[in-house]
Chain A
Amino acid sequence: MSKEKENDMKMITVYIMGKAYKVPFGLTIMKAMEYAGYRFIRGSGCRAGFCGACATVYRRKGEYKLRTALACQTTVEDGMYLAQLPFVPSNRKEYDIEELDPKKNVLSEYYPEINRCVSCNTCTKACPQELQVMDYIQASIRGDYKLVTSLSFDCIQCGLCVVRCPAEITHYHVAQLARRLYGKYYSPVPQHLLDRLKEIEEGKFDSEIEELKKMDAKKLEEVYVARDIQKIPRGEVAGE
């Protein structure tokens, strides 16, 4: 950042693990910490709200309430007291997905502590993805894999719910197990995929691909340009 630009910038004060630093207004917590001189080893992964590496606990000056955020997805505010969660030592159970009996409530069996949920809703309040975390724990108690799946699908496994839960529940591990059970046992493999696998095994496309592989560049380009393109109805194009 150039000198002139810096002079123009409105500066605010944040307290990184208690130490005061002046940082420009309008940065994310992550970029503000870097501006202040911190170089992340832990605490910075995707930098885009997808990995949960940057779980942050903070308090605003003059408040008593502890709040939670993702450092890469939250703007710094004047007077924030900031600390990052470098690691969550949460309990994860090992299992063999092939051996589980999805008809039983596997969640309760592997994570019996879910039954101790006191419905305080602290986990939901802590979740930076704004998921209904308590509700998915309640659904886990009932063994409702489908509901856990839909309620927890956007979980980035940051662990903030876990560190706040009075019942020592490891929400995101429970949800991961539920989703795998649902995906594997309750969302069958489409028939058209199985058909295609059989065709590939039988070598149905081999000669066509072999021909393309051998084609000289000019001919290949001709075939490419001439290929028919499936009509795209409105709103049906996707991509990254």
Chain B
Amino acid sequence: MKLIDGYTEEMRESIEKVEKTRAERMKKSYPALTMEEREEVLNKYHPDYKPDKKRAVRVGPNKGEVAPHEVVDLLEAYPLITAKDVDLKTIDYDVDLLIIGGGGAGTVAALWANDNGISAENILMATKLRHGDANSMMAQGGIQAADTPEDSPARHYLDVIGGGHFANKPELVEALVKDAPFILKWHEELGVIYDKDENGNYIERPGGGTSRFRLHSAKDYTGMEIMRVIRDEFRNRQIPVLEFTPAVELLKDESGNVAGAVLFNMETEQYYTVRAKATVLATGGFGRLHIQQFPTTNHYGATADGLVMAYRAGAKLRDLDTVQYHPTGAAYPEQIVGLLITEKVRGMGAQPVDKNGDLFVFPMEPRDVEAASFIKRCADGKCVQTPTGMHGIWLDSPMIEEIEGEGAIRKNLDAMYRMYKRFGIDMTKDPILVFPTLHYQNGGVEIDASAQTSIPGLFAGGEVEGGVHGKNRLMGNSLLDYNVFGRRAGISAAQWASKRSKPGKLSLAHVDSFVKELEKAKIPPERRSPMLLPEYRGEKVLARMLDIL
């Protein structure tokens, strides 16, 4: 295949059309849709609005409620281990606090538990990959906080709850918006570097669904900047962490409180038992389930393990019927399909245009509406086809340099520039091809404002929990979420643990009864969960695999 500066000849022909319409388009915008028009495009084209892609779960606390098939498949799966497989009398780690998941929420929880009286050696973090290999590391755009005189936490509240289709849990939204400025101050004290202007004030930008400028960023490496600082602080405090050792099941004590977990060392394939007075669940989201076969922006370990474990332990879940698709995932080249193209690219002026170079949508509709509009345009046959059969919409990135001046892309979007350049595309000169990608788990384990789940002893923060964002999260509120509720989970868990003596006998009885429920519902034992790692090995290899070593 012949490529000219990264693109095929057919794609080049389309790019020429994009260039031809650019000067005209620069002068214009496209009208935003009315509420009714939004509804229509969502109903017809948004992946969430297809009833056949979801089903009701047949067992457990949310019995009868619908979720995507891929999620229900895991909730209705049989466990990886049962009481017979493990010796729960021998305790490998005996701690006050177990933190499951080493992303942002888990790290924040550990720091705040430590600040609230739990000594480092009485905390244990168990995580699936390395500490920090997590969605938190990947966030590009920024974090919201209402901290300017024109803005207020009440306004932030309104934006969050409107964005969430008014389905959010009010007390959680309140906590989110009221803690936000405090979180920024905490970050400042730790040494997180946010973009500031020449007077030392934050550079704040608006985004889809926000009525004020309140997005704080660190170039397009915001998530990485926060994550590496809090991880550095965690390391300074010498809090123990087990890497490549995911939790596979929660444990309970005789009174039904969560009292630790069974961990699995993926490298040696042995298990460990952890007894803990309090447990924080911070396992993040589910992008790697590839719902409706969408590619994803998420990290390798985003496989919904926390949902599954909590569900078996009896925790209530909520808002799992909606999934966030980000309108702009990379659609080309093949190597980066699905990876996130930050909203900031559109925000800085790049318009989405079709194969003829026509602008067909207001560039800053809410995420779900923008995504549905892209899908519609493709259904209308106006998309660009890639050599591997993907469809895509052009994001006319060279416009950014025309609007903001030469160098604007390298200054503000260096991660994006670098990614494309690695594959031979110069986004300052040529447009880039995008299509919606699976981005975020809107719902999750239900918590209250103190980050307590419906089961005593179990706390949750970050993407694994639900209720904060209702049916749809706004940009920049998820980094905020993991900080606010990671912190609250850490503090609440510390308080809980300090009031309690060691849990008694550890048990997996809740897993046994869940299995009985599955059997009663006549669900065949075809699947097992948690998934731990997605399967990406070649089919030919898998077909010839022997389990003999």
In the complex, the chain B residue whose C-beta lies closest to that of A223 is B158
Q: Give chain B interface residues in 210-248, CB to chain A under 8 Å.
A: 211-213, 215, 217-219, 221, 223-225, 228-229, 232-233, 235-236, 238, 244
Residues of A near B207 (CB, < 8 A) are 237-240
Q: Is B132 part of the binding interface, using a Cβ–Cβ cutoff of 8 Å?
A: yes
> Within the assembled complex, what's the spacing in Å between the Cα atoms of A162 and B117?
36
Partner of A28, one of B212, B301, B335: B335
B344:A239 contact, CB within 8 angstroms = yes
Could you give, for residues 174-190 of chain A, a 1 whenever the CB lies within 8 Å of some chain B CB and a 0 otherwise? 00100111111001111
Query: Smallest CB–CB gap between A234 and chain B, Å?
Result: 6
Q: Is B368 part of the binding interface, using a Cβ–Cβ cutoff of 8 Å?
A: no
In the complex, the chain B residue whose C-beta lies closest to that of A149 is B193
A179:B191 contact, CB within 8 angstroms = yes
Residues of B near A49 (CB, < 8 A) are 415, 418-419, 422
Query: Smallest CB–CB gap between B314 and chain A, Å?
Result: 28
A154:B221 contact, CB within 8 angstroms = yes
Residues of B near A149 (CB, < 8 A) are 193
Write the residues of chain A forming the contact surface with B, with a CB cutoff of 8 angstroms.
1, 6, 26-28, 31, 34-42, 44-51, 53, 73-75, 92, 94-97, 129-130, 149, 153-154, 156-157, 176, 179-184, 187-197, 200, 205, 208-209, 212-213, 217, 220-221, 223-225, 227-230, 232, 234-240
Q: Is B266 part of the binding interface, using a Cβ–Cβ cutoff of 8 Å?
A: yes
In the complex, the chain B residue whose C-beta lies closest to that of A193 is B147
> Within the assembled complex, what's the spacing in Å between the Cα atoms of A96 and B233?
8
A180:B232 contact, CB within 8 angstroms = yes
Partner of A45, one of B133, B142, B185, B336: B133
- Looking at B249-257, B272-280, B517-525, B532-540, the stretch in contact with chain A turns out to be B532-540
In the complex, the chain A residue whose C-beta lies closest to that of B479 is A240
Residues of A near B418 (CB, < 8 A) are 49, 129-130, 154
Partner of A1, one of B229, B342, B539: B539
> Within the assembled complex, what's the spacing in Å between the Cα atoms of A54 and B456?
39
> Within the assembled complex, what's the spacing in Å between the Cα atoms of A205 and B508?
46
A239:B346 contact, CB within 8 angstroms = yes
Q: Is B200 part of the binding interface, using a Cβ–Cβ cutoff of 8 Å?
A: yes
Residues of B near A44 (CB, < 8 A) are 129, 300
Residues of A near B339 (CB, < 8 A) are 47-48
In the complex, the chain B residue whose C-beta lies closest to that of A10 is B1
With A188-B200, A197-B181, A230-B206: A237-B348 Cβ-Cβ less than 8 Å: yes
27 contacts between A and B (CB under 8 A): A39-B535, A41-B267, A42-B244, A45-B133, A46-B134, A47-B299, A47-B300, A47-B339, A49-B422, A51-B134, A180-B191, A180-B229, A181-B191, A189-B188, A197-B182, A197-B185, A200-B181, A209-B153, A212-B154, A212-B158, A213-B174, A225-B162, A238-B206, A238-B215, A239-B141, A239-B205, A240-B141
> Within the assembled complex, what's the spacing in Å between the Cα atoms of A3 and B61?
43
Residues of B near A190 (CB, < 8 A) are 147, 196, 200-202
A39:B346 contact, CB within 8 angstroms = no
A176:B228 contact, CB within 8 angstroms = yes
> Within the assembled complex, what's the spacing in Å between the Cα atoms of A192 and B202?
9
> Within the assembled complex, what's the spacing in Å between the Cα atoms of A236 and B207?
9
B137:A27 contact, CB within 8 angstroms = no
Residues of B near A208 (CB, < 8 A) are 152, 154
A94:B181 contact, CB within 8 angstroms = no
Residues of B near A48 (CB, < 8 A) are 138, 297, 299, 336, 339-340, 419
Partner of B233, one of A53, A73, A97: A97
Q: Is B166 part of the binding interface, using a Cβ–Cβ cutoff of 8 Å?
A: yes
Partner of B343, one of A26, A38, A236, A238: A238
Query: Smallest CB–CB gap between A94 and chain B, Å?
Result: 5
A37:B236 contact, CB within 8 angstroms = no
B188:A228 contact, CB within 8 angstroms = no
B139:A240 contact, CB within 8 angstroms = yes
In the complex, the chain B residue whose C-beta lies closest to that of A231 is B206
In the complex, the chain B residue whose C-beta lies closest to that of A216 is B166
Residues of A near B193 (CB, < 8 A) are 149, 153, 179, 182-183, 187
> Within the assembled complex, what's the spacing in Å between the Cα atoms of A44 and B461?
24
Q: Is B549 part of the binding interface, using a Cβ–Cβ cutoff of 8 Å?
A: no
Residues of B near A50 (CB, < 8 A) are 137-138, 221, 223-224, 415
Q: Which 6 A-B pairs have the closest CB atoms?
A: A239-B343, A180-B191, A45-B133, A237-B347, A238-B205, A239-B207
A40:B200 contact, CB within 8 angstroms = no
B188:A184 contact, CB within 8 angstroms = yes
In the complex, the chain A residue whose C-beta lies closest to that of B439 is A240
B205:A237 contact, CB within 8 angstroms = yes
Residues of B near A200 (CB, < 8 A) are 153, 178, 181-182
Partner of B133, one of A31, A51, A205, A237: A51
Residues of B near A182 (CB, < 8 A) are 191, 193
> Within the assembled complex, what's the spacing in Å between the Cα atoms of A48 and B533?
17
Which one of A50, A220, A234 has the highest number of Cβ atoms from chain B below 10 Å of its Cβ? A50
Partner of B178, one of A75, A179, A181, A209: A209
B196:A230 contact, CB within 8 angstroms = no
Partner of B171, one of A47, A129, A183, A213: A213
> Within the assembled complex, what's the spacing in Å between the Cα atoms of A26 and B540?
18
Partner of B342, one of A94, A195, A240: A240
B211:A228 contact, CB within 8 angstroms = yes
Residues of B near A96 (CB, < 8 A) are 236
Could you give, for residues 309-347 of chain B, a 1 whenever the CB lies within 8 Å of some chain A CB and a 0 otherwise? 000000000000000001000000111100110111011
Q: Is B130 part of the binding interface, using a Cβ–Cβ cutoff of 8 Å?
A: yes
